[in-house]
Homo-oligomer: A and B are copies of this chain.
């Protein structure tokens, strides 16, 4: 089976206007990688229906799974549900189970803003988890996650077991020499191991090393062979340490 691909759509003026750093896609990137699932693209769009619809339409065709972050609260700037519904050509309905949970929680204080949070694209699946006050909403291949990091993380943990792939094996080499000095050895290694995921990350001002080289593959033997090859061809004194 082909490994699943994922795209993340982050919705939020607060990110684009520099008020808030997007830590959600960083969290999700780490989690997906650990699960062996490939994150292919992240796009941040403003709180504008047309913008969200366009990116959702594109991502849902392009990737196996789409995760959205943000825009699912009770206020005017929360428009992800409407946008996802429109992207899929579905109506927005008030889901009776979420409505019931909201009414039970807010009791006689419940208002139309609370009940906006019961709205889902018609046909949505609700995924419940032990710790969750409200379920994760899924429609077709799209999971709607909130913008608040703590809640996003809780919700992702509930659906995490659905994301499984062949895990990546990672080795790293810390180089005392700069990228330009080791580039030819990286090229030679890639020529011999063309399927290797080989990264080269310079670091400024670190007394210990100048470049961190990462070698990855879903095939452990392959990455070990490539690692041994590269360590073997790098000039003496280049390798500070390995992981």
* Contact surface of A with B, Cβ cutoff 8 Å: 13-23, 25-26, 29-34, 39-46, 51, 73-77, 106, 111-114, 116-117, 148, 150-151, 168, 179-184, 186-187, 190, 197-202, 204-205, 214, 216
A76 touches B190 (CB 8 A): yes
Minimum distance in angstroms from A214 CB to a CB of chain B:
7
Give the chain B neighbours of A40 by CB distance below 8 A: 16, 46, 51
Are A39 and B16 within 8 A (Cβ)? yes
A41 contacts across to B, CB distance below 8 A: 16, 43-46, 51
A184 lies within 8 A of B16 (CB): no
How many copies of this chain sit in the oligomeric assembly? 2
Question: Which of chain B's residues has its CB closest to A202's CB?
Answer: B148
Given contacts A77-B198, A199-B77, contact A29 B16 (CB under 8 A): yes
* A202 to B70 CA separation, bound complex (whole angstroms): 12
CB-nearest residue of chain B relative to A205?
B150
Quick check: A201 and B20 within 8 Å, CB to CB? yes
In the complex, the answer to whether A26 meets B18 with C-beta atoms within 8 Å is yes
Residues from chain B with a CB closer than 8 A to the CB of A198 are: 76-77
Chain B contacts of A202 at CB under 8 A?
Answer: 73, 148
Are the CB atoms of A39 and B21 closer together than 8 Å? no
Q: Is A113 a contact partner of B179 (Cβ separation < 8 A)?
A: yes
Q: State whether B46 touches A43 (Cβ < 8 A).
A: no
